[in-house]
Amino acid sequence: MGKIKNPDAKATVGNPVCGDILTLYIKVKNGIIRGIKFETLGCAAAIAVSSVITQMAKGKTLEEAKKINPQKIVKELGGLPPIKMHCTQLGAEALRKAIENYQKKTL
């Protein structure tokens, strides 16, 4: 967790219903996510999702990381209570947006 100095891209997403906010920072080299960190303001489930997203995405190509979805996140976590499932969407969205932001900068 934490910030990456001079990230190649970042994304901030939030859920207005519950108030969770996730900022994801990525460093990319040769199309592979080499560094990834997060800052999350939210519940324990949102923090757990943020953490597992970083573990799942690090070392993956951008295309592989884009395929990380809420179902894969839940499986990696070993489940979540139904009321906390929206946190997985927040994590997947932050990762996708950070990758999109990186790709826009490099085109």
Active site residues: 18, 87
Give the separation between CA 41 and CA 43, rounded to whole angstroms.
7
Q: Which residues of 33-60 are buried (b: 16+ CB within 10 A; e: fewer)?
A: beebbbebebeebbbbbbebbbebbbeb
